[in-house]
Amino acid sequence: MAKDVICEVSSCRNWAGNNRCSAESIFIVNNKESNAHRSAETDCKTFDPK
Ligand code: SF4
């Protein structure tokens, strides 16, 4: 279980400054049909645009 989530996506409503995420939990998904092999192939589905 992640202790802290550090995120730079300041355009998200859950972004809390100092690169923190204020969401109760987050859901990370593959951004392609097959399983990710690199971080660039993952996305935060909890993202909520401001
Ligand atoms: S919900 Fe996802 S995109 Fe939004 S601040 Fe948290 S980790 Fe970042």
Domain extents in the chain = 1-50
pLDDT at 14: 97
**What span, in angstroms and rounded, lies between the C-alpha atoms of 49 and 21?**
13
Decide if 9 contacts 1 (C-beta within 8 A). Answer: no
CA of 26 to the centre of ligand 1 (A): 7
Give 28's contacts (C-beta < 8 A, 6+ positions apart).
42, 43, 44, 45
Report the pLDDT value the prediction gives residue 19, as an integer from 0 to 100: 97
Average pLDDT rounded to a whole number, residues 1-5: 89
Atom of ligand 1 nearest to the CA of 15: 5
* Cα 3 from Cα 20, distance rounded (Å): 12
pLDDT 10s digits, 5-39: 999 999 999 999 999 999 999 999 999 999 999 99
Question: How big is the chain by its Cα radius of gyration, in Å?
Answer: 11
Report the predicted TM-score, pTM, of the whole model to 2 decimal places. Answer: 0.91
Q: Whose CA is nearest to atom 4 of ligand 1?
A: 47
